[in-house]
């Protein structure tokens, strides 16, 4: 039983950045813009977000609030950084994949450069606060559920769930959401009824920048104790989660949970008697998340539905 709690707790912190960043990708792709720059945006968000955390931690502001401030700052930086992608791919009609790749290459380089030249010679930004919450009065004492959800957790997990709810609500219950989805499916039709495609796509890309920037900070605080100009490819994994989740918020939640669970099982296999009993070589255990994803994708790919106009540059004149 103890083991199951540990597995779930680890799954939650692994899946949180994936969930948040994939939801970011969702807004962008649903509006019709491929955002492969998520990785780079995460790096930028994490860079400034962690920098702010390292500056204000240990002062009069309580730890969890420091974290929330850091996450929001990371989000704002991500938003600003994604303007480049939006401008290039919407106004300048650049190829979206190329523009995104450019940002991915640019981000770690600029983070290292700025960190080294301005922040005292090292690309590493350390922070010392432990953000994990050991337990909460009353809530942790709830049988079973208390231990799963309110023991050894990060507040960011709940931030992620709130973002999920908001995303679902915005996309499916508001006028803006309908417009975003319309832009991703058939921008010409949407344009013909008076929707400003450029504006909607800007909203989509900037929202994805905001969420990816937040995701960067969330990633670093739960994976490490220092920012070192990398998010280990989690931006790309988030794109995989987005596709795996079939561009739908609920399925993205499932996909990120599934992927988080599989990577956790792979990482913890030596402590799980059932898995260890298989006696496989370590390399095979490390493959588990990817093999499982391939299998599930193969089974579900028939119903996979990408937004129709995603990646297509919108040109009013083209008919």
Partner 1 sequence: MKKLIALLSLTAFLIGGCQDEKKGHESYTPSYSTANKKIGLVTDVGSIDDKSFNQTSWEGIVDFAETNGLAIETNYKYFQPSGGSNAGTQDYITAINNAINWGAEIVVCPGFLFEVAIYEIQEKNKNIGFVLIDGTPNEGNYEDVYVAPNTVSILFKEQESGFLAGYAAVKDGFTSLGFMGGMAVPAVVRFGIGFIAGAYLAAKENNNTEFSFNKDHYTYVGKFEADPNIKTRAESWYNAGVEVIFAAAGGAGSSVLAAAQEGQDKWMIGVDKDQASDSPRVLTSATKGVHSATVLALESFYQSNFDVGGQILNLGAVDDGVGLPLGESWRFSSFTIEEYQSLYDKLVDGTINVPSTHETLKTYVEGLGYTLNLSFEDIGM
DSSP alpha helices (H): ranges in the chain?
2-30, 38-56, 63-86, 96-118, 145-149, 155-173, 175-185, 187-192, 197-223, 234-244, 249-268, 273-276, 282-300
Three-state secondary structure string covering 195-249: CCHHHHHHHHHHHHHHHHHHHHHHHHHHHCCEECCCCCCHHHHHHHHHHHCCCCH
Contacts with 278 (C-beta within 8 Å, 6 or more apart), sequence order: none
| Alpha-carbon span 261 to 220, nearest angstrom | 19
Residue ranges that bind partner 1, judged by CB under 8 A: 2, 6, 10, 13-14, 17, 112, 116, 121-124, 126, 128, 130, 132, 152, 219-220, 222-226, 228, 230, 232, 263-264, 266-268, 270-271, 276, 281-282, 286
Of the pair 119, 161, the CB lying nearest partner 1 is at 119
Nearest distance from C-beta of residue 151 to partner 1, angstroms: 12
Of the pair 48, 190, the CB lying nearest partner 1 is at 48
Nearest distance from C-beta of residue 182 to partner 1, angstroms: 36
**In this structure, what is the dihedral angle of CA atoms 14, 19, 20, 22, given to the nearest 10 degrees?**
130
Nearest distance from C-beta of residue 132 to partner 1, angstroms: 5
Nearest distance from C-beta of residue 145 to partner 1, angstroms: 20
Residues 52, 70 contacting (CB under 8 angstroms)? yes
Of the pair 134, 250, the CB lying nearest partner 1 is at 134
Nearest distance from C-beta of residue 39 to partner 1, angstroms: 13
Of the pair 23, 46, the CB lying nearest partner 1 is at 46
Of the pair 208, 264, the CB lying nearest partner 1 is at 264
Residues 44, 209 contacting (CB under 8 angstroms)? no
Nearest distance from C-beta of residue 6 to partner 1, angstroms: 6
Of the pair 152, 191, the CB lying nearest partner 1 is at 152
């Amino acid at each position: 039983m103890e083991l199951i709690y540990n597995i779930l707790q680890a799954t939650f912190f692994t899946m949180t950045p994936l969930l948040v960043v994939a939801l970011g990708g969702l807004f962008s792709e649903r509006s019709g813009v491929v955002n492969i720059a998520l990785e780079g945006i995460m790096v930028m968000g994490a860079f400034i977000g962690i920098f702010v955390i390292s500056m204000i931690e240990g002062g009069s502001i309580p730890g969890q609030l420091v974290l929330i401030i850091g996450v929001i700052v990371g989000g704002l930086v991500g938003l600003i950084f994604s303007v480049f992608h939006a401008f290039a791919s919407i106004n300048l009609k650049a190829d979206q994949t190329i523009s995104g790749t450019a940002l991915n290459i640019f981000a770690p380089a600029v983070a290292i450069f700025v960190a080294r030249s301005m922040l005292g010679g090292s690309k590493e930004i350390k922070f010392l606060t432990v953000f994990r919450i050991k337990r909460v009065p009353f809530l942790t004492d709830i049988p079973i559920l208390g231990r799963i959800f309110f023991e050894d957790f990060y507040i960011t997990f709940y931030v992620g769930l709130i973002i999920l709810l908001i995303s679902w609500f915005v996309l499916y219950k508001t006028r803006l959401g309908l417009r975003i989805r319309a832009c991703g499916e058939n921008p010409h039709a949407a344009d013909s009824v008076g929707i400003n495609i450029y504006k909607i796509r800007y909203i989509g890309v900037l929202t994805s920048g905001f969420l990816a920037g937040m995701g960067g900070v969330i990633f670093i605080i739960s994976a490490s104790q220092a920012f070192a100009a990398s998010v280990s490819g989690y931006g790309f994994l988030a794109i995989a989660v987005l596709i795996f989740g079939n561009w739908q918020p609920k399925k993205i939640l499932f996909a990120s949970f599934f992927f988080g669970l599989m990577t956790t099982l792979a990482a913890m296999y030596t402590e799980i008697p059932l898995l260890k009993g298989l006696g496989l070589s370590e390399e095979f255990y490390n493959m588990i998340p990817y093999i499982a994803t391939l299998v599930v994708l193969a089974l579900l790919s028939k119903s996979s539905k990408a937004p129709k106009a995603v990646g297509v540059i919108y040109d009013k004149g083209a008919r």
